[in-house]
Amino acid sequence: MRLLTLLALVLLGLSAQAAEKLKVVTSIPDLADLSRRIGGDRVEVQSICKGLENPHFVSVKPSHLVAMSRADVFVQVGLSLEVAFVPGLLENCGNARIQPGRPGFINASDGFAAIDIPGQVDRKLGDVHPQGNPHMNLSVEGGAVMAANILKGLCAIDPAHKADYEARHAAWTRELEAAQQRWKKLGEGWKGRKVCVYHQEHAYLIRGYGLVTLGSVEPQPGIPPTPASLASLIATLRKEKDVCLLAVAWARRSELEEVRNQAGVTLVELPNMCAGLPGTESWIEMMDLLHKRLAEAFGPQKGT
Amino acid sequence: MNHSILSASALLLGTSALFGQGSAFQTPGMPRQVYGPPKEGTSQDNSGQASRFSSVFNPAFSFVGDIVGDYRSGGEEVGWNAELRALEFGAQAWVDPTAWAYFTAVSDGESLDIEEAALHYKGLGERHTLRVGKFFLDFGKQMQTHIHELRTLERPLVLREYLGDEVSGTGVQWDHWFSANDTTAVRFSLGAFSSLLPEHEHGEEEEPEAEAEVAGRKSIGNLNYSARVTGFTDVGTNGTLQLGTSARIVPDFAFVDEDGGGEVGGLDNTVWGLDVTYGWKDETATKSFTAGLEFLVNSGDVGAELGAAPGDAPIVADGTRTGWLLFADHGLDPNNSIGLQISMAELADADKTEALEIEAYYTRYLSEFHRLRFGLSTLDVDGADESFRAAVQYTFFVGAHGHGVNW
Ligand SMILES: [Zn+2]
């Protein structure tokens, strides 16, 4: 009997501990990885987007709605990256704890200096994002900003475990610093290397390493190419040598191949978010793969 | 309850205070004197008040244009035509922290109709919404959408035959959803309206017909009701399945011969529906597949023909009619999709004449904000010539734009 009582108490204790975990929902897997790293065993994390998806086209599923309705914390990139699904989810989930302005809402791009902020917001510019290029999760500096915002958010909502969060964030930051050394070394010879893009996801890397963008398969962000725009892009690329065409899993294969075959460029498949391509479970691993693929594509010779 | 009464009176007080402020030296409706030029870089004057001339609280506006060019043969209409089918103008904004309001006005170039004007009140608690005003009937998967938002050019045969082309009612609707498990959400709605019969489109009628009408004033039992329950669940990692059932109840209405003057009252009608929808997206969220089935039962007094002579009462058809629609859509990429929709219905005449409509369509989004659609359709009514239509639809969306949850 005493044993049973003890067992019951232990089970109760375990379930209470499990129930105490913060339920974190993130828009993309990069934020899920960072939330797990900083939250540790204090959090239970779920991402809405999967690693190969185009975040601009994700549609809402019932599991997303249920997860959002139960969440203690919601983490998004912001900068209008998730406009296709986050506003609808926030509006319909009926969860006051995670609404913008509440402690349970974390905007991971807060304080990040976005590039390509349009001087004029007009659909003439395509599917333009009024707050600038939203793909900050693919910038070398983005990781630290996302992690800092998650740390701040978790500490605010669960101050009792502030020290734990800070310790884990510090450990992750040391890993990040080591990784940034690797990336810096790899990227040293890249200045002036020529690329063509499909979409504008890698604009931060391109600017950071001083790569030269010769064109884009999408004539403007979110606007599919026309036969004329493709022909003019191919004509431009034909005049150049050693051009890498950067693309992610969702880019249209037929157009990528047309450009590659007709313009003689090297197609480089890059990750879009973490947990998509093999070996990209964490944000740092994903950025490692990104740099590795670029280094392979650019080859050992230094750029001009 | 107390809370809502309180906030209603607070709202009234607030309004009178607002009008009271400048009333001593101001004629209601006339612009107030503005002192000095607007502050640089703002739309406000220098009064230091966000007054009625301030645009800081302006709602978000949008408009949609829907243009159709088509060729028809075989039916009553033959030949080419092009029309601005709809110019839709809308606005939306939060009213206060618990409610947002919107309206949609639509014109075909001649008259301007308010299709929807409603307020969504969220103050009842988590996952509850109270909708008040005029808005579309919550029935199946396709009645809540404006025609230009459909996957096909027209509302499918069985829906327009049993419910109407566009059905909006003035009333109130309570919506709630809850989770059945980690991957399943269940939503229901209950609505009470003054009338849920479609509005007649005057001026466009080719031949006189008996029109269904609900009386303006009625007992509470004779209000029109709508109800819907739907379960929505994940299927594997890439799919979703939705099951739903809906009803529209019109307990008391009349068929009226507006030209001849004949009328039959005391009629009732109930339409009941069942819907199944399966959706799938590939691992990059760019290729998709959607298939759906809706089955409808129309019972009670379903339709009427004009009496033999002017002044005679219309001859009412009653009993049960059934019909269905089935569609399959394939999104080749975010910009291109193809699909096929088939709809069959027993018409609301005394003979239960069968009709079959088939539509094949290709949609190309030139970008997220405008789209071209090519549709080929046939309508085959027993005992009549088969009619054919080939159409091009061009639709553009300007301004504020959002994606809700489609369930
Ligand atoms: Zn983008």
Last residue of some domain: B17, B37, B58?
B58
Residue-level pLDDT at A235? 96
Distance of alpha carbon B367 from alpha carbon B344, whole angstroms: 34
Q: Which of residues 359-378 of B touch A (CB under 8 A)?
A: 367-369
Cβ proximity of A276 and A28 under 8 Å: no
Task: Tell me if chain B has a CB within 8 Å of the CB of A89.
Answer: yes
Residue B327: pLDDT over 70: yes
The average pLDDT across B211-223 equals 88
Q: Show the low-confidence residues of chain A (pLDDT under 50).
A: 12-18, 302-304
Q: Tokens 């009176």: give the residue.
A: B9
Task: Say what percent of chain A tops pLDDT 70.
Answer: 89
What crossing angle do the helices spanning A142-157 and A283-298 adopt, rounded to 10°?
180
Chain B CB within 8 Å of residue A125 CB: no
**pLDDT 10s digits, B381-392:** 998 889 999 999
**How much is the average pLDDT of B60-83?**
91
In the block, which residue shows the tokens 């067992």? A7
**Same domain for B43 and B89?**
no
CB-based contact A54 B283, cutoff 8 Å: no
Q: How far away is chain B from the Cα of A21, in angstroms, using its nearest Cα?
A: 17
CATH number 3.40.50.1980 is the correct assignment for the domain at A15-181: yes
A28-54 pLDDT per residue, tens: 999 999 999 999 999 999 999 999 999
- A128-157: buried (b, 16+ CB within 10 Å) or exposed (e) per residue? bbebbbbbbbbbbebbbbbbbbbbebbbeb
Q: Report pLDDT for A297.
A: 94
Let me know if residue B404 belongs to a domain: no
| Residue numbers in B near A87 (CB within 8 A) | 402-403
In sequence order, the 6+-apart residues with CB closer than 8 A to the CB of B215 are: B222, B252, B253, B254
Contact B393, B372 (CB under 8 A): yes
Residue where the block lists tokens 């150049």: A240
Of B234, B398, B402, the CB nearest to A87: B402
Domain shared by B85 and B51, yes or no = no
A232 touches chain B (CB under 8 A): no
A127 touches chain B (CB under 8 A): yes
Q: Which residues pair with B229 in a beta bridge?
A: B188, B245
pLDDT band at B1 (very low <50, low <70, confident <90, very high): very low
Q: Concatenate the DSSP letters of all residues of B221-284 into one string.
A: GGSEEEEEEEEEEEETTTEEEEEEEEEEEEEEEEEE-TTT--EEEEEEEEEEEEEEEEEEE-TT
Tell me: do B357 and B248 sit in the same domain: yes
Q: Which residue has the tokens 């893009």?
A: A197
For residues B1 and B123, membership in a common domain is answered with no
Evaluate if residue B103 carries a pLDDT over 70: yes
**Is-contact B232 B185, C-beta < 8 A?**
yes
Q: Give the pair of three-digit tokens for residue B155.
A: 């509302």
Q: B44 and B78: one domain?
A: no
pLDDT in tens, B105-131: 999 888 899 999 999 999 998 899 999
Residue A134's alpha-carbon distances to A77, A84, B57, B404, in angstroms, are: 8, 13, 27, 21
What does the mean pLDDT of chain A come to? Answer: 90
| DSSP 8-class letter at B374 | E
- Residues 6 or more apart from B331 whose CB is under 8 A from it? B286, B287, B288, B289, B290, B337
Range of the domain at B223: 61-399
Contact B284 A52 (CB under 8 A): yes
Whether complex ipTM tops 0.90: no
Q: Which helix (H) or strand (E) holds A181?
A: helix A162-187
Cα(A120)–Cα(A128) distance, rounded to whole angstroms? 10
Most confidently modeled of B38-52, B69-83, B215-229, B230-244? B230-244
* Helix (H) / strand (E) containing A29: helix A29-39
For residue B337, what pLDDT band results from cuts at 50, 70 and 90? Answer: very high
* B353 C-alpha to ligand 1 centroid (Å): 52
Per-residue pLDDT at B58: 84
**B405 inside domain:** no
Asked whether residue B11 falls in the same domain as residue B70, the answer is no
Q: Does A65 touch chain B (CB under 8 A)?
A: yes
Close Cβ partners of B75 (under 8 Å, ≥ 6 residues apart): B379, B384, B385, B387, B388
Residue B407 belongs to a domain: no
Q: If you average pLDDT over residues B29-41, what whole number do you get? A: 50
- Residue B324 token pair: 């269905």
> Residue B227 pLDDT more than 90?
yes
Residue B177's domain is classified under what CATH number?
2.40.160.10
Q: What is the pLDDT of residue A300?
A: 73
- Which residue, among A49, A56, A57, A272, would best test binding to B if mutated, counting the most B CBs under 10 Å from its CB? A57
pLDDT at B405: 67
Q: Are B114 and B103 in contact (CB under 8 A)?
A: yes
Q: Is A84 on the interface with B (CB under 8 A)?
A: yes
Tell me, yes or no, whether B1 lies in a domain: yes
Q: Can you spell out the DSSP letters for B42-96? A: SSS-TTSS--TT--TTPPEEEEEEEEEEEEEESSS--EEEEEEEEEEEEEEEEEE
Per the structure, the count of domains in chain B is 2
Residues B11 and B120 in one domain: no
The residue among A193, A300, A190 whose CA lies nearest residue A245 is A193
Cβ distance of B403 and A85 shorter than 8 Å: yes
Give yes or no for B3 touching A (CB within 8 A).
no
**Residue B125 within any structural domain of the chain:** yes
**B54 and B65 share one domain:** no
Task: Please report the pLDDT score of residue B199 as a whole number.
Answer: 81
Q: Where are the domains of chain A?
A: 15-181, 189-297
Rounded distance from Cα B360 to ligand 1 centre (Å):
32
Predicted confidence at residue B55, as pLDDT, reads 79
**For residue B214, pLDDT beyond 50:** yes
Q: Tell me if B406 is assigned to some domain.
A: no
Q: Given B9, B35, B58, which residue is the final one in a domain? A: B58
DSSP-derived letter for residue A76 is: E
Q: Which of B33, B58, B83 is the last residue of a domain?
A: B58
CA distance A26 to A43: 12
CA distance B188 to B291: 22
How many angstroms is it from A56 CA to the middle of ligand 1? 7
Q: Are B375 and A59 in contact (CB under 8 A)?
A: no
Q: Is the pLDDT of residue B40 over 80?
A: no
Q: Report pLDDT digits (tens) over B246-302.
A: 999 999 999 998 888 889 999 999 999 999 999 999 999 889 999 999 999 999 999
Q: Are residues B187 and B266 in the same domain?
A: yes
Token pair in block for residue A191:
């200045």
Instruction: Judge: B126–A88 Cβ closer than 8 Å, yes or no.
Output: no
B380 phi and psi angles, rounded to 5 deg: -120, 105
Q: Hey, what are A270's tokens?
A: 């890059």
Instruction: Give per-residue pLDDT as tens, B138-174.
Output: 999 999 988 888 989 999 999 999 999 999 999 999 9
Domain A189-297 has CATH 3.40.50.1980: yes
Partners of residue A50 in chain B, C-beta under 8 Å:
237, 283, 285
Task: Tell me, yes or no, whether B84 and B40 share the same domain.
Answer: no
CA angle B364, B369, B372 (to 5 degrees): 30
pLDDT computed for residue B353 by the predictor? 94
Counting other chains too, the contacts that B119-122 makes at CB distance below 8 Å and 24 or more residues apart are B119/B95, B122/A94, B122/B98
Give CA–CA dist A180/A187, Å, rounded: 10
